[in-house]
Chains A and B, each alone.
Chain A
Amino acid sequence: MGKIWEFGQFGKSTAIEDEYGNRMTYDVLNSEACVLAEKIGYRCLVFVLCQNKIGSVLGYVSFINNAIVPVMVNSHLEEGLLRNLLTTYQPAYIWLPKEQLELFSGMQSIHKAYDYVLLKTGYKKEYSLYDELGLLITTSGSTGSPKLVRQSYTNVLDNAQSIAKYLKLDSTERPITMLPMNYVYGLSIINSHFLVGATMLLTDKGLMQKEFWTFFKEADATSFGGVPYTYEMLDRLRFYRMKLPSLRTMTQAGGKIIPELHEKFARYAEETGKNFVVMYGAAEATSRMGYLPPERAVEKKGSMGIPIPGGTFHLVDADGKEITEPRTTGELIYEGKNVTLGYAECGEDLAKDDERHGVLETGDMAQFDEDGFYYIVGRKKRFLKIYGNRVNLDEVDRLIKGGFEIEVASAGVDDHMYIFVTDGRYADSVRDFVINKTKLNPAAFRVIIIDEIPKNDSGKTLYKELAKYYE
């Protein structure tokens, strides 16, 4: 396993700038990364509690480049879910923001840098790690399931190279963070830009905050990435009227953007000489699988595009037979070096080798048109994307049943989840429970009280019959 990034070659160029005016050159990033890795000194598992801060990025690149395996989690993950993850995987260390130290009062602090602290956990057990295992990340989900995606060093490097190629990235790029780095899309922006010696602009502020836009303008940001909901917010902000001369590229992923907004942003980009790039991906493919070349953005609205360099798509029907006719729906299969090793659900799984061999059944239903552009039309599995976060509906049901011992079925459409219960007394507490577990904005969740959860004779919930309540 070689290094992913060669920071030394970019020397005194700025690798990171943050909203508080702090800067870090590639040379300093390189040396600080070595110092941190030496404090650990061997290949082991480290939890990284992520924020868009210098310390967080430093920890991540240090671990990856020195064969230490990071588990990327949001620093705001609900405490119970975080503790569950820690007990499941028993990391040797935790790299976390200093203001969260009090959560782990029993652990020993052995290094501090850039407002982050390295804690030795003292867990007795250390699970063995497969040689090629590079990092572990959640499936952009926020229900805190212990299920992690196992990504290899080859996965990370190959996907970052491919992204740098199709977005034509170079050292003059200055992407501003809009997404968390424990989210594969956010992480892929860091991965690809550090390959080309660009400058990451780090902020934890959101696009509804003045400080975000002040930093954007003062630091001359050249690009950002957003989920569909981001673009709805930008639309409401009347983004099109903002003067952002430094902006070159807007990318979109994390779910399907509605075609009207796709067209609006594509036209805005065309008129202002910028690029709007719709992309498609999943944590199971490291990050990106498809992209819509910006020059086709208006013409192919609603499409997620073509495979990224080095990847291929094909569709199969219900019998597993390849679909060759355009405009026919089938499951989308992706092949490429960025297809991850598989999942981990417990510590022992960290020793597993490659279970996918470069082929990913995406679970997304898609079609291609006469020109070979792909369109996502549905999903095979029961999950929703809420503000870009994958939320598994079966898991939500399981959590609720575990917490309340009641009849429940959840369903819905992206950004709107409907939780069906039969006992009205639990309506508010169930909703609060789900909001707290997912840490997503309450606006996405509604509870509907019905007489009976529709089921078939064998007791399986008939989710399709619930659709009439919300469609």
Chain B
Amino acid sequence: MSNLGKYNLAFMNAFEISEDQLTGLKYQDIEAWDSVGHMQLVAELEDAFDIMMDTDDIIDLSSYEKGQKILSKEEYGVEF
């Protein structure tokens, strides 16, 4: 699966939503993306890409698009 595919799947699993809901999605836009959901998302992303995210990046991950930017950083090296 492509990195984008894995990335999308992490969101879909964490929040139980479909792919067409992802674009523009932000923290608290949907009920499932609360602090509990956020933790699920981080767990999914860390598993999918076999990474350990930094605290600052975890709390900075405030939207679907922002997450891509964070994971593209050198320390995680995920290319989309």
Instruction: Identify the A interface with B (CB < 8 A).
Output: 206-210, 212-213, 229, 232-233, 236-239, 241-242, 387, 435, 439-444
Residues of B17-47 at the interface with A, using a CB-CB cut-off of 8 Å, are 27, 31-32, 34-40, 42-43
The SS class assigned to the B binding surface is helix
Residue B16, interface by CB 8 Å: yes
Contacts of A444 in B (CB 8 A): 36
Which residue of the partner chain A has the closest CB to B60?
A: A210
Are B36 and A209 interface neighbours, CB within 8 A?
no
Kindly list 17 other residue pairs between chains A and B, CB separation below 8 angstroms, not including A208-B39, A210-B59, A441-B34. A206-B35, A208-B58, A209-B27, A209-B35, A210-B60, A212-B59, A233-B36, A233-B39, A241-B55, A242-B55, A435-B31, A441-B32, A441-B36, A442-B32, A443-B36, A443-B37, A443-B40
Q: How big is the B interface, by class?
A: 10 to 19
Sampled A-B contacts (29; CB under 8 Å): A206-B35, A206-B38, A208-B27, A208-B35, A208-B38, A209-B27, A209-B59, A210-B59, A210-B60, A210-B62, A212-B59, A229-B36, A232-B39, A233-B35, A233-B36, A233-B39, A236-B43, A236-B58, A237-B58, A238-B54, A238-B55, A440-B36, A441-B34, A442-B37, A443-B32, A443-B36, A443-B37, A443-B40, A444-B36
Which listed residue (A213, A241, A435, A443) contacts B59, Cβ 8 A? A213
Which residue of the partner chain B has the closest CB to A237?
A: B55
Kindly state the separation between the CA atoms of A232 and B42 in the bound complex, as whole angstroms.
Answer: 13
The SS class assigned to the A binding surface is helix
Are B59 and A208 interface neighbours, CB within 8 A?
yes
Q: Please encode chain B, from 42 to 69, with 1 for each CB lying within 8 Å of some chain A CB and 0 for all others.
A: 1100000000001100111010000000
Which listed residue (A206, A236, A242) contacts B34, Cβ 8 A? A206
